[in-house]
Structure formats: C-alpha cells, structure tokens
Amino acid sequence: MKNIYPNQLVQRPSSEALHHQEIRIGDLVSLKPRDSNSIVSTVIMVVPLNGTTTYTSEHVHAPQRQGSPARVTRYRFRLQDVHRVIPH
C-alpha cells in the first residue's frame, strides 16, 4: 500500500469555495497529488490531531492485468487539500 501525505498534495486555492465542508466517513473527496492527475477517494477515518482535523481516505486502482490484485493508495489530508466533496 502506498501512502500520500499532505505535503504531497496540491492545496485548494483559497479563492475556490468548498461547498460541503463537513466531511464524514464514507464521503468521496477529490484530491490532487502533486505528481499525478486528480483522484476521487473514499474517506475511511476522521481524527482530530494536534489542533486540526486530519482525514484518511483510500483509492483502489483497477488491476493493470486481468487476474492481478488491485493496488490501494492511502491519502492523509486536511480540509485545505480537498477540492470537492461528494457526500455519502
């Protein structure tokens, strides 16, 4: 499993409003890793940590070959890293 941390994500511009700011487990979030295209992942954990809320989500990549296992990437992020929220 690959892990991506907030310093590896592009933050949402402060001029861009986030229409749904309450993120819950099961919601889908759009994140933008610095080294690839935007992804949509499922929130699996919401934890207050060091005075801020930290979220964890997982994105399951389709297998590259038939019969091979799917790859999972886990993202740790903050609200400012979220570009869009799709409520569950």
Q: Is 79 helix (H, G, I), strand (E, B) or coil?
A: helix
Q: Which residues are CB-neighbours of 53 under 8 A, at least 6 positions away?
A: 46, 47, 78, 79
Domain 2-86 has CATH 2.30.30: yes
Dist. CA 32–CA 81, nearest whole Å: 8
Q: pTM of the full predicted structure?
A: 0.89
pLDDT at site 7: 97
Partners of 55 in beta bridges = 46, 77
Domain regions of the chain by residue span:
2-86
> Of the ranges 28-32, 42-46, 62-66, 80-84, which one carries the lowest mean pLDDT score?
62-66
